[in-house]
Amino acid sequence: MPDMSASVSLAVTHLVPLAKEVDENKVTPGVLGFIVFAVMALAVWGLMKSMSKHMRKVDFKESPDTEAEQPRPKADSQRG
């Protein structure tokens, strides 16, 4: 198995001349940036749609608490 650092350094030496050719005033996100942004936008849209579907199922009305309505016996009345 070849050494990974040698292949990385070889790749970097080929990319360094390409980096010097890039005009720093005209750097844009490009197609990859658009694709990442579009995927993130679709994910957020899907999550919001799912959340609204689940929120429609939620019953916001509280059921009456029967235990709270029953009077509890006082400690003084039990001592006798």
- In eight-state DSSP terms, residue 49 is H
Distance CA 36, CA 23 (A): 23
Q: Say yes or no to pLDDT of 4 above 70.
A: no
Please state the φ and ψ torsions of residue 16, each to the nearest 5 degrees. Answer: -60, -45
Please state the φ and ψ torsions of residue 58, each to the nearest 5 degrees. Answer: -75, 135
Q: Say yes or no to pLDDT of 57 above 80.
A: yes
End-to-end CA distance of the chain: 89
Q: Looking at residue 48, what is its pLDDT?
A: 97
Q: Say yes or no to pLDDT of 78 above 80.
A: no
18-55: pLDDT as tens digits: 556 667 777 788 899 999 999 999 999 999 999 999 99
